[in-house]
Amino acid sequence: MTQPSHISLPQFEELRALLDEDFVDLMHTYMQDSLQRLSEMETAYANLDNRLGYNAAHGLKGASSNLGATELTELCYKLQEICRTGHINQHEQLIEEIKAECHAVNDQIQSLIA
C-alpha cells in the first residue's frame, strides 16, 4: 500500500529540474526554516501574538506553495487569516494540524532527496 503524498510530485520534480544542483541545499533550507516557523507559531499561540503567528504562517505558506505542499499551504492560509482577525488564541488545534502536516512534508522531502 502506498503512503499518501503530502507534496505534488510533478511540481516537486519541476522545481528539482529548475534548480538543478542547488535543489538539495534548498530543500535542507526549507526543512530548517519550516521548523523555525513552527516554533514561531507555538510562541505566537503561547503569547497571544497574532502578528508573529501571521508572519510565521505567511512565510511557511509561501515556501510550501512553491514545493507543491498543497495541504500545508491551505492550513497555513487558514492560520494566517485567523491571525489577521486576532484570534490565534482559539486555534491551538489548527497549529497542531500544521505541525503534523509539516513534519509529514519534511519526511517526504527527506525520502525524495535521499
In this predicted model, what pLDDT tens digit does every residue of 18-50 receive, in sequence order? 999 999 999 999 999 999 999 999 999 999 999
2-20: average pLDDT:
89
pTM, two decimals, is 0.93
49-77: average pLDDT:
97
Q: Provide the pLDDT for residue 1.
A: 43
83-90: average pLDDT:
96
Q: Provide the pLDDT for residue 91.
A: 95
Q: Provide the pLDDT for residue 114.
A: 87
What does the chain come to in residues? 114
C-alpha cell at 55: 508572519
The domain limits of the chain are: 9-13+22-113
pLDDT at 73 over 90: yes
Q: Yes or no: is domain 9-13+22-113 CATH 1.20.120?
A: yes
Sorted by sequence, the CB contacts under 8 Å of residue 49 that are 6+ apart come out as 43, 88
Q: CA distances (Å), 86 to each of 34, 82, 91, 98, in order?
A: 23, 6, 11, 18
